[in-house]
Structure 1
Amino acid sequence: MSEQSKSFLSERRGFLAAALATGFALAVRPVAASTIVTDSEGLEVGPAFVERGDVELPVYVARPANASGRLPVVVVVQEIFGVHEHIQDLCRRLAKLGYLAIAPDLYFRQGDPRKYPEIEALQREVVSKVPDAQVMADLDGTVAWAVAHGGDGARVALTGFCWGGRIAWLYAAHNPELKAIAAWYGRVEGKASDNTPTQPVDVAAQLKVPVLGLYGGKDQGIPLDGVERMRVAIKRSGEPSRIVVYEDAGHGFNADYRPSYHRAAAQDGWAEMLKWFRSHGV
């Protein structure tokens, strides 16, 4: 590789890494006093890059420092706000427990969600332009990268939040190689579009991985009747999936940096997720 090519690659990676810089998305500021901050002591953390054809997918990685042997892997799928500080903090929490946690920036081709001060503009200008097929392929690449960089291919799980909760359900019907998945308050029904042709309820009978669904009983955006239809539909998959509803919690109840945070539901959901992973060998 020529010096000019090396310089270009370095500049390009620097630009991509900026999308994973520490900080919260503009649309969620100011952050709440309840925000949890997990340090990186004893961890290796930072951006990395997954080759995806002619582009490089930025990922945030956290893992125990100086770990011996292959590590169990948890792929963390972002909220609508991207891989901002909260998602990075979740990765560090998982790394403290011994996981190689990796969060891919699944919007990077379409834009930087951290820069939008309003959710409506973010949804219109970035999120709506992200094809499900692209996301599934990027997650495949992320899993492969994690396994090639110290992860144990026989112990891979995935969790997703909000936008990522819907993706988690879809990925359970896409990749049978994972051991377990946890979907946090992800939409299960909705209108089809070119970029989102199917919804989780459409593929519920085709799940190839056991999924734990975590929902809030007071979620204004995800009606409970839809969650109940999903609960019925997943029984036809043959996988031991289940759904837990926290009656007093709303949408985003694990988002400790927002007013939606519900401490009791978040703590119980996190414990249930870890138990779910471990019960399936991750």
Structure 2
Amino acid sequence: MSQPKRDDIPQEAFDWYDEYAHGGMDRRTFMKKLGTLVAVGYSMSVLTSALLPNYALAEQVSFNDADIKATYETFDSPQGHGKGQGYFVVPANKTGPLPVVLVIHENRGLNPYVKDVARRLAKAGFIAFAPDALYPLGGYPGNDDEGRAMQRSMDRDKIQQDFIAAAKFLKSHENSNGKLGAVGFCFGGYIVNYLAAVESDLLTAGVPFYGTPAKKELRENIKASLMVQLGEEDERVNKSWPDYEADLKRYKVPYQMHMYKGAKHGFHNDSTGRYDEANAKLSWDRTISFFTEKLS
């Protein structure tokens, strides 16, 4: 089953979804706004199937793929929620030490799309670990609305501490080569920027996809190489970039930024109509090449 073409959906619908997905609008208001488009000829089923995730579309690497092995691992997080858990995926036919990459989800927990990203990394030869921020509440609940509400109810500082603990767990793993990368999406992109800034020697390389920067007072700590991935039509995130770039230059951080023409917020996520296949492939190829160069 294919998604409706994103070019058939008005930009205002994507803007409403972005506001809804980031807590600025409740579901009832979001659906009411979509109803105004139905009144002028759009199909509600087409709108919702394009905007809301269909995770059956997001499996590029099967969990049964013979080239990978996936398990769940727990880690200690004394400054966070005490314990954390994540999806741990390794190449089946390689032995350590190997480069390791932390995979950081959006603002709704460890959904199937992010688990697939971890499998894609393992398929490419990396050890990947995707923590679930919702683990203290029982884990990703199986739908994004509930997951988003759960994550919003949690202490943000403790969530950040959990990701620091996950990063240290992965970096020090017995099969790690000691070089840690991190890739994240939206909220996860922010966490990549935060991990690069909170401790200078934690990350070797980070790839934040459409994520906002860490607090200004932390940025002088950044030493990791960064590849910043942004969509041209993502006004909310992009407005933070000029100030962030100025600080990266000021502190002589090795970075590159790619702005993807016509791409929306969430363009890498292949479970919704915001997915941009060409830009997603290009950005992912760049991500794999970047990690190969910086972490090997």
TM-score range for the pair, normalised by the shorter chain length: 0.7 to 0.9
| 1:82 shift after superposition | 1.2
Cα distance change on mapping 1:111 and 1:162 into 2, 3 Å: farther
After superposition, the C-alpha distances for 1:204-240 in whole angstroms (9 at most, x for unaligned) are 3331212111111101432x33222222221112221
- TM (norm. structure 2) is 0.72
| 1:128 shift after superposition | 5.2
Q: Which runs of 5+ in 1 are unaligned?
A: 1-27, 189-198
| 1:202 shift after superposition | 4.6
Aligned mate of 2:232, from 210, 217, 229: 217
Aligned mate of 1:72, from 89, 95, 99: 99
Return the alpha-carbon distance in structure 2 between the equivalents of residues 83 and 229 of structure 1: 30
* Partner in structure 2 of residue 51 of structure 1: 76
* Partner in structure 1 of residue 126 of structure 2: 99
Cα pair 1:174 1:208 within 8 Å, conserved: no
Cα pair 2:100 2:127 within 8 Å, conserved: yes
How large is the RMSD of aligned CA atoms in angstroms?
A: 2.5
| 1:115 shift after superposition | 4.8
Cα distance change on mapping 1:239 and 1:217 into 2, 3 Å: same
| 1:79 shift after superposition | 1.1
Aligned mate of 2:58, from 27, 32, 35: 35
Secondary structure at 1:221 match in 2: helix
Secondary structure at 2:60 match in 1: coil
Return the alpha-carbon distance in structure 2 between the equivalents of residues 233 and 41 of structure 1: 44
* Partner in structure 1 of residue 90 of structure 2: 63
> For residue 197 of structure 2, what is the amino acid of its counterpart?
A
* Partner in structure 1 of residue 169 of structure 2: 145
Cα distance change on mapping 1:250 and 1:201 into 2, 3 Å: farther
Cα pair 2:227 2:255 within 8 Å, conserved: yes
> For residue 286 of structure 2, what is the amino acid of its counterpart?
E
Paired-residue identity, %: 25
Cα pair 1:81 1:114 within 8 Å, conserved: no
Secondary structure at 2:239 match in 1: helix
* Partner in structure 1 of residue 295 of structure 2: 281
| 1:252 shift after superposition | 0.3
Cα pair 2:164 2:195 within 8 Å, conserved: no
Cα pair 1:169 1:200 within 8 Å, conserved: no
Cα distance change on mapping 1:187 and 1:69 into 2, 3 Å: closer
Cα pair 1:173 1:204 within 8 Å, conserved: yes
Cα pair 2:132 2:139 within 8 Å, conserved: no
Cα pair 2:181 2:295 within 8 Å, conserved: no
The question of 1:206 aligning with 2:221 is answered yes
Bigger helix share: 2
Return the alpha-carbon distance in structure 1 between the equivalents of residues 264 and 153 of structure 2: 24
* Partner in structure 1 of residue 210 of structure 2: 185
Return the alpha-carbon distance in structure 1 between the equivalents of residues 220 and 110 of structure 2: 30
The question of 1:242 aligning with 2:267 is answered no
After superposition, the C-alpha distances for 1:75-130 in whole angstroms (9 at most, x for unaligned) are 10111121111111011100011111001112323564535553xx7555533533
Return the alpha-carbon distance in structure 1 between the equivalents of residues 202 and 191 of structure 2: 16
Return the alpha-carbon distance in structure 2 between the equivalents of residues 149 and 61 of structure 1: 13
| 1:165 shift after superposition | 0.4
Return the alpha-carbon distance in structure 2 between the equivalents of residues 253 and 269 of structure 1: 10
